[in-house]
Amino acid sequence: MQMYSKINLEEVNESTRTDEEPAVKMIGYDLKTGGEPRPNELRCNYFYYDEGDTVRRHYQEEQEELFYVVEGRARMEVGDEEFEIETDDFVIVDSGPWRQIHALEDTEIFAVGAPNIRDDAVFEADLKE
């Protein structure tokens, strides 16, 4: 039994939800649709922010998230705190608090969330409608 899954970032499809949000490559989703048995316990995504892109303000109901800034600089909001993140920074955010990332320049972020729960994000804009 194979005990790993492998994919190159170039093989992953790029998508986005809105024009203002970053493009994202849903690595785990592409592995699964490609027939791989994993990931099971985590979700992983690679985000491409153009300067000025902002992910919609949201919180995760159950997922803890780890963000690694591959390249660039952004402003991150977690709960009532706001701070800058830049190349080689890691940030871990518990489930629960509101979060948002706004790119101050072109930025690439690798994110991992666990447990692997589909549609775990609650977006602020959806609550107001």
Complete DSSP assignment for 11-46: GSPEE-SSTTSPEEE-HHHHHHHTT----SS-EEEE
SS3 127: helix
Binned at pLDDT 50, 70 and 90, residue 70 comes out as very high
The most distant pair of C-alpha atoms in the chain lies apart, rounded to whole Å, by: 48
72 pLDDT above the threshold of 70:
yes
Q: In the chain, how many domains are there?
A: 1
Task: Give me the CATH number covering residue 79.
Answer: 2.60.120.10
Nearest CA to 18 out of 57, 75, 56 is that of 56
Structural domain includes residue 3: no
Q: What is the pLDDT of residues 28-52, one digit of tens each?
A: 888 888 888 889 899 999 999 999 9
Structural domain harbouring 43: 19-128
Nearest CA to 87 out of 71, 74, 103 is that of 71
53 pLDDT above the threshold of 90:
yes
Structural domain includes residue 97: yes
Structural domain includes residue 9: no
The answer to whether the Cα torsion of 124, 33, 44, 64 is positive or negative is positive
Structural domain includes residue 121: yes
Q: How many CB atoms lie within 10 A of CB 21?
A: 16
Structural domain includes residue 51: yes
